[in-house]
Structure 1
């Protein structure tokens, strides 16, 4: 059953709420209008925050903020992240960490949709409010492997959102191991729209989209091999082959990318290893790329789940390993694993039904909104407490890690200005290298 809450039992949750009956909401919460504020710090977390709050519906008062940070998204990344949500067309406020306490005042629930150090900073500010809001967090995509570090930064939280039964089991085990008093909730990734198991779309293949992952593969030669295989597919098949970047080289991302694919492609074109016309590079919303007739290829990316959700065939490259280091162990048993040879030949796959049920495509019988309403009610009545020991440990970590949000405003303004300029230049450079108009 989806919506089950697992993990060490917390005094912050009412007795009897460890397992919530489908669709059940405590009587005193029915009809209540609660406020949730989400705080993000990067493009991927901003997308997660907007989509999560969008799925809660207009019955909630919803607000999304960006905290000042060196990895804050550019204008283009922000537009892509908010696309299709209630935040589209709105200006996302950017605030300094010092302003968090004021910005979070009046919230019943705070969603720390941010990297670990920033999530902890959000929790520290929210913990000082009276009454204290419920503190909730989650990761913006595939969360395997489950790591102690992720939970330690979020140890002050009341609840941690996972997006599959497999993730719930992994993080629940860690919660118990660490002795944390928080619940692990099961929801669905908010940008997956299929009601349950997605059905394959029957359409002739005309386009292939590659979704890079910033962290894997690690080696430059491995990344070049992917680009050369994509180019070989383009030459053999005549398909339109696109590389959908999360960011142009030099732009901020949640994770550092040592060898950006657009830079490597420019090197291949300059050395005449490829003609240059084989591939197109673009940024923006992934949803815009996932149209009928498209296949998805990646080493490890949440974009694969978006493609599955759209009924499109997928190829998960296994040439570089299938393990926790490659962030793709979750796809074992999916039926989607293949090789660069499969890519060159244009072989793509649809997932196994049994894998779908355990990994991200379960039926959501208890909406996340109902689960969060329970925490909102507890917050509003002042029944949420702060563990003094964990609070002290969080404050100790804070001074070693606060640099992420503590740069002076002039420095951050300069960083953002340079990155916006780099973004515009990268679009032009990529189009020049491939002989195309910018996508």
Structure 2
């Protein structure tokens, strides 16, 4: 699948369970096969992206529809995809690997299966990797990650040959240059789940507001991931939009949505706890500060940036500090790397799609290696221990009637609204009661 071809005679299906994973999966597919047909399958769940979120990501597909796990497994075979990109949480990837292995049983020709991680891997390294074991290619976003991933697979006897070093597919954009035509712009890139407590989130937001007051000549942007009621990869119980109203922010502080790349186009300093946006910023050469105010802790994910030279507190930022990433650290993380970081996986996929026959998918976890764990992982997606859909698992017709679509969408949106209200309003109240 050389990048220089004018047309790739293949079809790529991307299964994604959130807006950020659709972005990673779709861009990965485009890097592997720039001109292939791209079919989007959005897994139904609490984080299924809304139309607004999909528009913000801005990656078109030749077809796009929402599916259940059973629906995806039932239709993937007949849709004749050449490559399937599983861009989901680890448990979902494992369930789909078992489900697809069962669906393709006895089939000499099957699609090539690719999976990986959306961003920084700072927790559950072994757990997440072993749940992805069984794919033909497990993508590592840097040399650092590739070494760690292989060590895990080799340590348990899984196929380490499936690990392929690449880079985050959205590391692109114009290199940074300071501009005298606009105010110096500080962007605080927030995260849905880090930190998770109201107290810590209010602290960070208050410091951003204070920075805007201390520097009235600067523009301070709080880059938000989702609107209240929407979900991304993680649940957000304390949306910054609701918290900021209590702080009476100055006019030079603004809340912004939109494509991160477009926000970075006007950024002079990115500030975050551990967002993947930091890697995008560093890739462009934009000064980037990894906050230490709440400590450098595994729970926050900012320990991933050890050695980067990017650590700073709001006190440092208020005083005018502008961190710069260390080049050696950046290279190890796949940032601003030379050459084409996707050439190896492109060659791997080209060879596999051209093979006369592929071996069956063989996940490390089986009912023999993990009899007390795997059945539960599969059951969460309505699959039995053999990878077959359980009786009653939802499989919808490929083209439901207009009435059926309207009823389905109304019921689905009502259920999501109830779930989100429970997460963002009821659950925090119950926790506060428990602390009395």
Q: TM over 0.5, yes or no?
A: yes
Q: 1:202 to 1:265 in 2, by over 3 A?
A: closer
Q: 1:421 to 1:91 in 2, by over 3 A?
A: farther
Q: 1:334 to 1:148 in 2, by over 3 A?
A: same
1:297 to 254, 263, 271: 271
Shift of 1:313: 1.5
1:94 to 41, 61, 66: 66
2:39 to 63, 75, 87: 63
Q: 1:347 to 1:417 in 2, by over 3 A?
A: farther
- In the other structure, the counterpart of 1:173 is 151
Shift of 1:288: 1.6
Kindly indicate whether the alpha-carbon contact (under 8 Å) linking 2:19 and 2:233 is maintained by their aligned counterparts in 1: yes
Kindly indicate whether the alpha-carbon contact (under 8 Å) linking 1:134 and 1:384 is maintained by their aligned counterparts in 2: no
- In the other structure, the counterpart of 2:134 is 156
Shift of 1:109: 2.2
1:255 to 234, 239, 259: 234
- In the other structure, the counterpart of 2:299 is 325
Kindly indicate whether the alpha-carbon contact (under 8 Å) linking 2:42 and 2:66 is maintained by their aligned counterparts in 1: yes
| d(CA) in 2 for partners of 1:299, 1:167 | 20
1:121 to 77, 95, 118: 95
Could you give the per-residue CA deviations for residues 93-117 of structure 1, whole angstroms, max 9, x where no partner exists? 2222222134423223211001122
Could you give the per-residue CA deviations for residues 200-226 of structure 1, whole angstroms, max 9, x where no partner exists? 523355222111122222332221111
Q: 1:327 to 1:411 in 2, by over 3 A?
A: farther
The residue correspondences of 1:168-207 to structure 2 (distance < 5 A) are 168-182=146-160, 183-193=162-172, 200-204=176-180, 206-207=184-185
- SS of 1:93's equivalent in the other structure is strand
- SS of 2:14's equivalent in the other structure is strand
* 1:104 to 2:76 alignment: yes
- SS of 1:193's equivalent in the other structure is coil
The residue correspondences of 1:247-286 to structure 2 (distance < 5 A) are 247-266=226-245, 268-269=246-247, 274-275=248-249, 277=251, 279-286=253-260
Unmatched 5+ stretches in structure 2 = 384-388, 397-406, 421-436
Q: 1:346 to 1:408 in 2, by over 3 A?
A: farther
- In the other structure, the counterpart of 2:207 is 229
Cα RMSD between the aligned structures? 3.3
- In the other structure, the counterpart of 1:436 is none
Kindly indicate whether the alpha-carbon contact (under 8 Å) linking 1:299 and 1:317 is maintained by their aligned counterparts in 2: yes
TM-score, normalization by structure 1: 0.77
2:328 to 348, 354, 366: 354
- In the other structure, the counterpart of 2:27 is 51
| d(CA) in 1 for partners of 2:96, 2:18 | 14
Kindly indicate whether the alpha-carbon contact (under 8 Å) linking 2:41 and 2:66 is maintained by their aligned counterparts in 1: yes
Could you give the per-residue CA deviations for residues 151-183 of structure 1, whole angstroms, max 9, x where no partner exists? 232222222111111111111111112321242
TM-score, normalization by structure 2: 0.78
Shift of 1:386: 3.3
Kindly indicate whether the alpha-carbon contact (under 8 Å) linking 1:201 and 1:292 is maintained by their aligned counterparts in 2: no
| d(CA) in 2 for partners of 1:138, 1:347 | 35
Higher RCO structure (Cα 8 Å, ≥6 apart)? 1
- SS of 1:289's equivalent in the other structure is helix
Shift of 1:335: 1.5
- SS of 1:38's equivalent in the other structure is strand
Shift of 1:67: 1.8
- In the other structure, the counterpart of 1:426 is none
- In the other structure, the counterpart of 2:361 is 386
Could you give the per-residue CA deviations for residues 115-150 of structure 1, whole angstroms, max 9, x where no partner exists? 122222322332222223222211111122461221
Q: 1:24 to 1:59 in 2, by over 3 A?
A: closer
- In the other structure, the counterpart of 2:411 is 414
Count of aligned positions: 385
| d(CA) in 1 for partners of 2:363, 2:215 | 62
